[in-house]
Amino acid sequence: MKIGLALSGGGARGISHLGVLKALEEFGVQIDCISGTSTGALIGALYSYGLSPEKILETFINTRIFTSLRPAWTWTGLANVNGLQEVLLKVMPENNFQSLKIPVTIVATNLKKGRPEYFTSGELVVPLLASCCVPVLFSPINIDGEVYVDGGIMDNLPADCIRRECDLVIGSSCNHVSSEFDVKNFRSVIERSLMIAISGNTVISKHLCDVLIEPPELGKVSAFDLSDPRRLFDIGYAFAKTNYDKHSFEISK
């Protein structure tokens, strides 16, 4: 049986995927391929490169991987991703898909063509950067003359791209939209609006997953809140261990 894992984008919330991965390992689930958007793409690539969930968490904390984005103030965005690129090249110096132990598909949105595109070969780090480029916040990434932004705009839970090659698809989504919301400031309104929009493009993707892991508690956490990465890890781990077991990932005929 071939098992695929789709990891959603979601900013800081995506750290919860690491807890889910740890739980899957403890259940004895063998992942054969991974697809990911934004933070999900980062985690999928690092995990496929050979880093354990705990090691990836340690890397995020020690290298300040999410705060390595440097101000740019260009017309295309408020920041660039040069800092993130430097960190990723240190962790994965081979910088190609061929160096990954598990096949990975990275999703980015082609801004000119208005469609998601899926990267599976060649250079690794640049597509990862493109997948993480939230419009307005970060400058777009140029790949072979095309301009790319965050893959979550079009496909935030990329289950469809691995559905046909897998007998079972597990979806790890970190964007539960809580019904509790207070208008605190302009940023909170922007973030809430983005989460609602992204949630809309995952409806079909969720139905394509045989197992969907989506911790409701994450709906209370800001996608920009990096104050406690360990808590986010623990939320994913606790939810997976409490609500699933090894039999949850078997195909019932």
Q: From the candidates 38, 48, 173, 205, which is the catalytic residue?
A: 38
Catalytic annotation present for 38: yes
Burial of 145 (0-12, 13-18, 19+ CB in 10 A): exposed
**Ramachandran class of 95: left when φ > 0, alpha when ψ lies in -120 to 50, beta otherwise:** left
Catalytic annotation present for 228: no
Nearest to 36 by CA among 22, 27, 47: 47
Tell me the torsion sign for CA atoms 118, 250, 57, 54: negative
Nearest to 21 by CA among 29, 10, 13, 12: 29
Q: From the candidates 16, 139, 150, 155, which is the catalytic residue?
A: 150
Structural contact between residues 152 and 89, judged by C-beta atoms closer than 8 angstroms: no
What are 63-68's contacts with CB under 8 Å, separation 24+? 63/87, 63/90, 63/91, 66/11, 66/12, 66/226, 67/226
- Report strand pairing: 33-37 vs 71-74: unpaired
Catalogue the active-site residues: 38, 150
